[in-house]
Amino acid sequence: MLDDEPDLMLVSTYLPVVLTLVKATALVLCVEVLTHAGAPLSVLLIATCAALFFDFGRRSEPFQAASGFLVFYALAAVLRVAGPVECSSISGLAMWVVDLSWAVSVSTWSALACFSGRVGTPFAAVVVATAAAASAHVVVACAPMSMLELVVRCYAFTAVVAVMFFGKRYVAGLDRAYSQCIPFVGAHVLVVHVYVMLPSVVVCVFVFAMLAYRSEHAGDMEAARGAREAREAREAREAREAREARDAREAREAREARDAREGKADDDLKLRMQLRAAMAEHGK
């Protein structure tokens, strides 16, 4: 990993997530209050830009940078206030096509990036694709969104960002472009239709759950493979030692048999020489 891996067992690791949720909720509530007070859209934009300016000016944690600070929350809040277009059969169908295409493409991209360990797509291309999909959604969106739904979507977006940010530790060799792309990959959660948003969140959680499971069991599998290789090496060494001992025993037995045959031949020779000497002596 290029970034320092946070300790997931520490409570302080999740404080930036809580702080991001608090700031996002406060921003949505402020926009809602200004809207009910009759403030024009220009005032809402100025207030939102001021909030973004102060949020950028503060010292940020890596998670806050990975979530895009408050930019995506502010865009979702302003888009909700601007209101959807008038619904028709064509606009409704177009909205479903745009939302499904957006969600399926980013979910597929995220899964491929995580399982392959590399992004493979330039960061600028991800930004342009997200902007194009968001613009198309704004043009055809005709489903109204309540403030409560927006708050829930902000929480879901933060959860997706947290899963992708903290889950990157389970992806070996992941490059820096992945961290930069996280808020753009999860941006659709804030605006697409709820029936499209929910499966996308489930896919994201499922992908990283699989990665975490595979990573946690990889150590056990590695240990089991190491133990199996050590057992096979020990068995091979024992077999080699047994084969060498058997060969040495057979060589010793063969040598002893050869020595015994040679000793018997020497005894026969001595016996014959003694018989000849005795016969020669008797002849005299």
Q: Which DSSP string corresponds to 41-54?
A: HHHHHHHHHHHHHH
Angle in degrees, 0-180, between the axes of helices 71-82 and 41-57, rounded to the nearest 10: 170
CA 201 to CA 218: how far, in whole Å? Answer: 26
With a CB cutoff of 8 Å and minimum separation 6, the contacts of 161 are 63, 66, 67, 182, 183, 186
Plot region of 83 (φ>0 → left; ψ -120 to 50 → alpha; else → beta) = left
Total count of domains within the chain: 1
Examine residue 212 and state whether it is found in any structural domain, yes or no.
no
Q: Which of 105, 83, 84 is nearest to 95 (CA)?
A: 84
Examine residue 80 and state whether it is found in any structural domain, yes or no.
yes
Q: Which of 69, 53, 54 is nearest to 19 (CA)?
A: 69
pTM: 0.73
Domain that holds residue 120: 11-205
Examine residue 90 and state whether it is found in any structural domain, yes or no.
yes
CA 89 to CA 11: how far, in whole Å? Answer: 49
Examine residue 242 and state whether it is found in any structural domain, yes or no.
no
Examine residue 153 and state whether it is found in any structural domain, yes or no.
yes
pLDDT (0 to 100) of residue 161: 93
Give the position of tokens 């992945």: 178
**In contact, 88 and 140? CB cutoff 8 Å:** no
Which tokens is 94 given?
């177009």
pLDDT (0 to 100) of residue 73: 94
pLDDT (0 to 100) of residue 150: 93
Examine residue 45 and state whether it is found in any structural domain, yes or no.
yes
CA angle 176–184–35, rounded 5-degree value: 140
Examine residue 276 and state whether it is found in any structural domain, yes or no.
no
On the 0-12 / 13-18 / 19+ scale of CB atoms within 10 A, 138 is: middle
Examine residue 225 and state whether it is found in any structural domain, yes or no.
no
Give the position of tokens 């342009």: 128
With a CB cutoff of 8 Å and minimum separation 6, the contacts of 55 are 23, 69, 70
pLDDT values of the chain reduced to their tens digit, one per residue, 284 residues: 444 566 777 888 889 999 999 999 999 999 999 988 988 888 888 999 998 888 886 666 788 888 888 999 999 998 888 776 677 778 788 889 999 999 999 988 888 877 776 666 788 888 999 999 999 998 888 878 889 999 999 999 999 999 888 887 777 666 667 778 899 999 999 999 899 999 999 988 888 888 777 776 655 555 556 667 777 888 888 888 888 888 888 888 777 777 667 666 666 666 777 777 767 676 65
